[in-house]
Amino acid sequence: MFADLGYVRASIEAIAAQADVSTRTIYNHFQNKDALFQTTIEQSASRVAAAQIEIVGTYLTVSDDSEQKIEARLIEFATAWIRPLPDYAEHRALVDRVRAEVGRIPRPALDAWQAAGPLQVRRALARAFAALAAHGDLRIDDPDVAATHFTRLVTVDDPLRPGRRTTKKQVSTIIANGVRAFLYGYGTDRTGSAS
């Protein structure tokens, strides 16, 4: 319901009707709409974060037998990481609604969403980058900052043009250029990038 109508327009009555329960049933579990929304977005974000963290582990685990250069690994990772996860389309719609209504959503719900989802993923990415730096694949002083930089460099969505579709070629170009820019700042002589 929140993904369809957004936080502002979704009422407890509409949610109860869709769930085929009474409003009393909802209030027996949640103090108010704010609490229901916070629980909804927190649980949804947590599930998506787990899937994204698995992608981090799949592509960015340190391995001595990897023949693949760090640039190729980062491009493969970013391509898999930014690809919409089909099982989480409803979460994506919910996040789009949250972004559109951010000033009208209670701060505790926004904080809970960030803590359960995006911050967990960024921390996992930071840990992976720290391990790659310890292995000599990257040169990083602050893994959390590096994770933030990487995320911003490979993000395909343009906040100034919401809803704009990008072609596969455009996505590949954005990711490749983003990874190159990242390695310009965080690469080592060993990776063939500036140090």
Q: What is the pTM of this model?
A: 0.87
Q: Is the pLDDT of residue 1 over 70?
A: yes
Q: What is the SS3 string spanning the chain? A: CHHHHHHHHCCHHHHHHHHCCCHHHHHHHCCCHHHHHHHHHHHHHHHHHHHHHHHHHHHHCCCCCCCCCHHHHHHHHHHHHHCCCHHHHHHHHHHHHHHHHHHHCCHHHHHHHHHHCHHHHHHHHHHHHHHHHHCCCCCCCCHHHHHHHHHHHHCCCCCCCCCCCCCHHHHHHHHHHHHHHHHHHHCCHHHCCCC
pLDDT tens, position by position, 53-78: 999 999 999 876 665 799 999 999 99
Under the banding of pLDDT at 50, 70 and 90, the label for residue 191 is: low
Tens-digit pLDDT profile for residues 76-122: 999 999 988 888 889 989 998 998 899 999 999 999 999 999 999 99
Percent of the chain with pLDDT over 90: 74
Q: Hey, where are the domains in the chain?
A: 33-191
The residue that leads in pLDDT, 12 or 165, is: 12
Domain boundaries 33-191, CATH class: mainly alpha
Q: Which pLDDT does position 62 carry in this prediction?
A: 86
State residue 36's pLDDT score: 95
| Percentage of the chain exceeding pLDDT 70 | 92
Give the per-residue pLDDT at 147.
Answer: 98
